[in-house]
């Protein structure tokens, strides 16, 4: 870089910025000009600004014109509106843009009489519609249609129609005729059909035959608005004739506008009118694909056909013969292959097999399976070469993108089984495309294709498998996440493979996605949250044993290790669904054991907060009886938690817990709830928690306890009965033959989610006291006691040096008793807020374990990223 006299570029930039700053500084004289006397009213201020103000102040007055018209209409019409009319003669774009927007608001403001715009302002609008400055004219014509919503027809007939007729004369310049087309389109939205035929239809036909292609295309773009105003009776013989003639125009711009107008008025046409347009439409599609014509015309036509091909087929599908339908499918097949010469040369022209091989190569683990030859009947046929191979690379790519967008529509239109093989081949070609956008669009429409195919949806397993395994392309995986559950259900529902290899491949792909999110896409937490929520349908796809052994370990690890709170909450919600529909009693017991031991009794306050989130999900998903018998006691044990945020969040769910109780059966639980609230009031010294518990007490007082009565049952009570019946059916239908490997030890018996193994590699047994509160092994909601082969293990929370030091169970209950008693409820030892724990309150409670294990130290452990805390509900 050259330097002048030792001065570099920085010096000149500094001097330039200082000069610009000096220009921005206003002198005292300039400040006086911008000052307005505060003693003036609004009208007087506006007049003063319009007479001696600056450009910015003019815009402010015009923007506040609706308020002035609403409160001072007479003075505003006499003084303000004439001044604004005079200012608009300056052709300033900012001022005209603000004025057009303001006039549109005035025309549609119900607080301002419509006569205000019709009498005073529409004349200003009409003057600037025929402004010689085309920029100003376009600004006013863009919002002119909105201004006419409340204008009477006689005003339009007297003021607007004559102006449009003059502007549309052939002697006027092209810009004037273009403005005439826009004005006519705006008038037809408000005009009656009789008035359109009498006053505007001759001018419309004249503009459709204009010598300039821009005028013809512009008028054609407004024909659908005119057709809707005239109705179906007149559209067929008045408007469709103009569209037919314009569709045969030599200029592509006009032809494209004509077909857009045809697609827009298709609902207004009867079968005879569609028959008239069908041959022309077929020729247009064939010519775009086959004819050797001018390159520009061919490329533009092919792009237009690729974009509208789905709408074209849908408009005339009922009139197509079998041969014509085959021709349309073949044209679509050719658009999918544009620019894919390498794919057509592989395997002697066997495009389907080449596409499957490409899909297998695109998978990250190279394990995608090849479909059998029976899936695609075109496996042995040679695809004839496409005549148009001189397309630009960008044009052919855009055609394939349009084809991917139209893929679900093609499956929906051509539902016959004889077209499915070729359309499935098109889907394979597009799914194996090198372009990311093409594959993303295929992924986004896969659920619609699966729904349409029905029993043949199993053929899409290779598509879903390849999409999920593309670890290098996050947008492609993200494209199918919104409806992944629907796709999984459709594919697994019609699995005709006796060995289940297809579903197993999809299971591996889902696990691959989880691994990829953890290793490569750590920052894509929103997509991970969405993906985890879609896994709630796993019980409808695979067995409980597969869910338990393959997915739950990953989910529980993510539950405690993932740094993002929305992801952990999504994992908790998904685990609740998987827990709810698990068919193995032993597995349900162990899942509940993990929730209690690793969350409720964790040393990390973040895990205990997550346990409270679990409780809210369990209340929504499970029956009331399940929560009361398995979770209620553990929630109340957190009353003595030394972290204020835990106690603060506990106040949030206490009213929901009270709504679950039914007297007199739950009087013991009700007494425990009242005792916990009293403990809050007596020993709580944190300001935020004290305020929250007082608000909770008011809500608890307003909550009325239920009593068993068939006459007073609410919809929520019927829903709870349905949940209880469903839980009982799941237990009765426990299918051990379907869940393979259920009798042997679990595959997770040696795995610990949070440090279950010691340094020597041996796994310590879990403290079984966590589940000894489960009273009845015959009920689904009261799970049995732990077996000899626990799957989820972690380090023990009690001293296991001997039987004398072994921690007794939480509740000693008779198996046949289904209700809690006052003697078997766990009584947690009291804790002062400094962290020091006192002894048990009675001698009877010394032989029972506490509901919450004291932490190892007074410093709270918080592994990973801290949980965001809402100032209204949690104290930092």
| DSSP letters for 302-316 | HHHHHHHHHHHHHHH
Kindly state the tokens that stand for 861. 């452990």
pLDDT at 867 over 60: no
What would the 3-class secondary structure string for 475-527 be? HHHHHCCCCHHHHHHHHHHCCCCCCCHHHHHHHHHHHHHHHHHHHCCCCCHHH
DSSP assignment of 820-868 equals --TTTS--PPPB-TTSPBP--SSSGGGGS--SSPPPSSSSPB--SSPPP
Q: By the 8 A CB rule, do 795 and 756 touch? A: yes
pLDDT at 331: 92
Per-residue pLDDT, 560: 86
Distance CA(852)–CA(598), nearest Å, equals 12
How high is the pLDDT of residue 13? 64
Beta bridge partners of 662: 706
Give yes or no for a cis peptide into 825 (omega within 30° of 0).
no
What is the spatial distance between Cα 434 and Cα 260, in angstroms, rounded to a whole number?
Answer: 31
Residue 744 has pLDDT above 60, yes or no: no
CB 227 within 8 A of CB 268: yes
Instruction: Give how far Cα 846 sits from Cα of 485, 641, 808, Å.
Output: 51, 20, 10
Question: Which of 680, 741, 705 has the alpha carbon at shortest distance from 549?
Answer: 741
Closest by Cα among 790, 753, 766, 758 to 553? 753
Quote the CA–CA distance of 778 and 765 in Å, as a whole number: 25
What's the distance, Cα to Cα, between the start and end of the chain in Å? 55
pLDDT digits (tens, 9 = 90+) for 790-832: 333 333 333 333 333 333 333 333 333 333 333 333 333 333 3
Quick one: pLDDT band at residue 772, thresholds 50, 70, 90? very low
pLDDT digits (tens, 9 = 90+) for 840-866: 333 333 333 333 333 333 333 333 333
- Residue, of 203 and 813, whose pLDDT is higher: 203
Euclidean distance between CA atoms 825 and 221, whole angstroms: 77
- 523 or 367: which leads in pLDDT: 523
Cβ-in-10-Å burial (0-12, 13-18, 19+) of 759 comes to exposed
pLDDT of residue 756: 37
Residue 317 has, within 13 A of its CA and on its CB side, a CA count of 16
* pLDDT value at residue 434: 87
Structure tokens at 571: 């994992």
705-732 pLDDT, tens digit each? 877 766 677 888 888 888 888 888 877 7
Confidence of residue 51 (pLDDT cuts 50, 70, 90): confident
Listed residue (428, 420, 433, 389) closest to 289, CA to CA? 389
Nearest-angstrom CA–CA distance, 836 and 76: 76
- What value does the mean pLDDT take over residues 38-47? 83
- Angle among Cα 853, 854, 856 to the nearest 5 degrees reads 120
**Distance of alpha carbon 243 from alpha carbon 255, whole angstroms:** 9
Is the pLDDT at 380 greater than 70? The verdict is: no
pLDDT tens, residue by residue, 406-452 = 999 999 999 988 898 899 999 999 998 888 999 999 999 999 999 99
User: Which 3 state secondary structure label does DSSP give 611?
Assistant: helix
Helix (H, G, I), strand (E, B) or coil at 7: strand
Whole-number pLDDT of residue 144: 87
Note whether 239 and 223 are within 8 A (CB). yes
Q: How many angstroms separate the CA atoms of 793 and 300, rounded?
A: 66
Number of CB atoms found within 10 A of residue 178's CB: 24
Total number of residues shown for the chain: 876
pLDDT at residue number 836: 35
Q: Is residue 746 scored above 60 in pLDDT?
A: no
* Mean pLDDT over each residue of the chain, to the nearest integer: 76
* Residue 778 phi, psi dihedral angles, 5° rounding: -90, -15
pLDDT at 573: 94
- Integer Cα distance of 367 and 456 in angstroms: 23
pLDDT at 870 (0 to 100): 42
Residues with Cβ within 8 Å of residue 713, at least 6 apart in sequence: none
Q: Do the beta carbons of residue 243 and residue 258 sit within 8 Å? A: yes
Rounded Cα distance between 535 and 522, Å, is 19
Is 0.85 topped by the overall pTM?
A: no
Give the mean model confidence (pLDDT) for residues 653-673: 89
Task: For helices 322-336 and 420-431, give the axis angle rounded to 10 degrees.
Answer: 10
Average pLDDT over residues 331-352: 74
How many C-beta neighbours within 10 Å does residue 486 have? Answer: 16
- Residue 58's pLDDT band, with cuts at 50, 70 and 90, is confident
Q: What is the pLDDT of residue 216?
A: 94
What average pLDDT does range 459-485 have in this prediction? 87
SS3 of 662, please?
strand
For residue 495, pLDDT beyond 60: yes
847's tokens = 């032989």
Q: Is 207 helix (H, G, I), strand (E, B) or coil?
A: helix
pLDDT reading at 370 higher than 90: no
Distances in Å between the Cα of 269 and the Cα atoms of 229, 231, 273 are 14, 10, 6
If you average pLDDT over residues 728-749, what whole number do you get? 52
543 backbone dihedrals φ, ψ, rounded to 5°: -80, 165
Alpha carbon separation from 530 to 527, 534, 811 (Å, rounded): 5, 6, 39
Q: How far apart are CA 28 and CA 400, in angstroms?
A: 64
Residue 499 pLDDT class (50, 70, 90 cuts)? low
pLDDT in tens, 278-294: 999 999 998 887 653 43
- Rounded Cα distance, 92 and 552, in Å: 66
Task: Give the Cα separation of 352 and 362 in Å (integer).
Answer: 15
Q: What is the DSSP string of 46-84?
A: HHHHHHH--HHHHHHHHHTHHHHHHH-HHHIIIIIHHHH
* Residue position matching structure tokens 């402010």: 60
Q: At what angle do helices 436-444 and 461-468 cross, to 10 degrees?
A: 130
CA distance 723 to 394: 56
Helix runs in 240-294, H state only:
240-247, 252-265, 271-290
Residue 205, both tokens: 């036909």
pLDDT bin (cut points 50, 70, 90) of residue 472 is confident
pLDDT beyond 70 at 208: yes
Which residues on adjacent β-strands are paired with residue 757?
763
């Amino acid at each position: 870089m050259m330097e002048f006299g030792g001065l570099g570029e920085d010096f000149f930039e500094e001097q330039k910025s200082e000069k610009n700053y000096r220009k921005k500084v206003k002198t005292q004289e300039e400040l006086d000009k911008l000052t307005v006397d505060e003693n003036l009213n609004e009208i007087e201020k506006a007049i003063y600004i319009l007479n001696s103000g600056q450009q910015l102040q003019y815009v402010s007055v015009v923007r506040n014109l609706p308020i002035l018209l609403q409160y001072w209409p007479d003075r505003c019409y006499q003084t303000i509106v004439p001044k604004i009319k005079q200012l608009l003669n300056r052709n300033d774009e900012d001022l005209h843009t603000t004025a057009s927007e303001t006039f549109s608001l005035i025309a549609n403001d119900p607080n301002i009489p419509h006569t205000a715009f019709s009498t005073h302002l529409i004349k200003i609008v009409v003057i600037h519609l025929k402004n010689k400055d085309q920029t100003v004219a376009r600004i006013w014509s863009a919002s002119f249609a909105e201004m006419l919503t409340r204008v009477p027809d006689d005003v339009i007939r007297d003021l607007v129609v004559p102006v449009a007729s003059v502007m549309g004369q052939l002697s006027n310049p092209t810009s004037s005729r273009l403005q005439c087309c826009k004005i006519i389109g705006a008038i037809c939205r408000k005009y009656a059909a009789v008035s359109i035929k009498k006053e505007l239809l001759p001018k419309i036909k004249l503009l459709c035959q204009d010598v300039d292609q821009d005028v013809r295309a512009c008028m054609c773009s407004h024909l659908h608005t005119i057709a809707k105003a005239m109705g179906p009776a007149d559209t067929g013989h008045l408007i469709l004739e103009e569209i037919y003639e314009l569709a045969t125009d030599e200029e592509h711009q006009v032809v494209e506008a004509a077909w857009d107008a045809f697609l827009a008025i298709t609902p207004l046409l009867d079968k005879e009118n569609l028959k008239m347009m069908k041959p022309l439409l077929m020729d247009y599609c064939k010519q775009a694909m086959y004819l050797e014509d001018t390159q520009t015309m061919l490329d533009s036509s092919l792009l237009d056909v690729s974009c509208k091909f789905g709408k074209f087929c849908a408009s005339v599908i009922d009139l197509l013969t079998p041969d014509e339908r085959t021709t349309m499918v073949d044209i679509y097949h050719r658009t999918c292959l544009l620019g894919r010469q390498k794919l057509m040369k592989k395997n002697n022209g066997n495009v389907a097999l080449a596409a499957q091989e490409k899909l297998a190569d695109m998978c990250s683990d190279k394990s995608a399976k090849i479909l059998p030859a029976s899936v695609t009947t075109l496996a042995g046929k040679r695809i004839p070469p496409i005549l148009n191979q001189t397309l630009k690379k960008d044009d052919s790519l855009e055609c394939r993108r349009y084809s991917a967008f139209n893929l679900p529509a093609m499956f929906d239109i051509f539902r016959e089984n004889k077209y499915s093989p070729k359309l499935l081949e098109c889907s394979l070609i597009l799914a194996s495309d090198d372009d990311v956008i093409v594959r993303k669009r295929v992924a986004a429409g896969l659920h619609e294709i699966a729904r349409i195919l029905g029993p043949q949806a199993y053929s899409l397993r290779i598509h879903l498998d390849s999409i999920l395994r593309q670890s290098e392309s996050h947008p492609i995986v993200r494209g199918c996440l919104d409806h992944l559950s629907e796709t999984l259900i459709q594919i697994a529902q019609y699995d005709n493979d006796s060995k289940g290899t297809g579903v197993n491949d999809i299971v591996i792909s889902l696990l691959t996605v989880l691994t990829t999110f953890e290793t490569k896409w750590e920052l894509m937490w929103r997509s991970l949250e969405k993906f985890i929520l879609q896994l709630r349908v796993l019980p409808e796809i695979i067995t409980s044993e597969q869910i338990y052994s393959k997915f739950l370990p990953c989910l529980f690890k993510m539950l405690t290790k993932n740094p993002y709170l929305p992801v952990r909450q999504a994992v908790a919600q998904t685990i609740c669904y998987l827990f709810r529909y698990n068919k193995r009693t032993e597995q349900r017991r162990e899942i509940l054991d993990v929730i209690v031991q690793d969350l409720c009794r964790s040393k990390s306050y973040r895990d205990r907060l997550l346990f409270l989130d679990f409780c809210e999900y369990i209340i929504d998903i499970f029956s009331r009886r399940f929560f009361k018998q398995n979770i209620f006691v553990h929630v109340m044990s957190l009353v003595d938690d030394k972290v204020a945020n835990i106690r603060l969040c506990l106040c949030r769910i206490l009213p929901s817990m009270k709504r679950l109780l039914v007297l007199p059966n739950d009087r013991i639980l009700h007494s425990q709830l009242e005792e916990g609230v009293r403990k809050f009031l007596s020993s709580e010294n944190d300001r935020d928690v004290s305020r929250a518990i007082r608000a909770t007490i008011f809500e608890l007082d307003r909550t009325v306890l239920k009593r068993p009565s068939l006459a007073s049952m609410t919809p929520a009570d019927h829903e709870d009965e349905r949940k209880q019946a469903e839980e009982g059916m799941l237990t009765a239908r426990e299918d051990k033959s379907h869940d393979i490997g259920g009798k042997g030890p679990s595959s997770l018996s040696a795995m610990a989610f949070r440090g279950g193994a010691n340094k020597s590699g041996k796994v310590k047994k879990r403290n079984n006291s966590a589940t000894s509160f489960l009273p009845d092994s015959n009920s689904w909601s009261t799970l049995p006691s732990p077996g000899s082969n626990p799957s989820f293990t972690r380090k023990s929370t009690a001293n296991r040096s001997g039987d004398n030091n072994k921690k007794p169970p939480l509740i000693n209950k008779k198996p046949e008793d289904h209700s809690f008693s006052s003697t078997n409820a766990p009584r947690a030892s009291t804790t002062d807020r400094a962290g020091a724990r006192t002894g048990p309150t009675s001698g009877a409670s010394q032989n029972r374990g506490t509901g919450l294990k004291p932490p190892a130290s007074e410093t709270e452990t918080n592994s990973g990223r801290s949980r965001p805390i809402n100032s209204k509900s949690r104290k930092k």
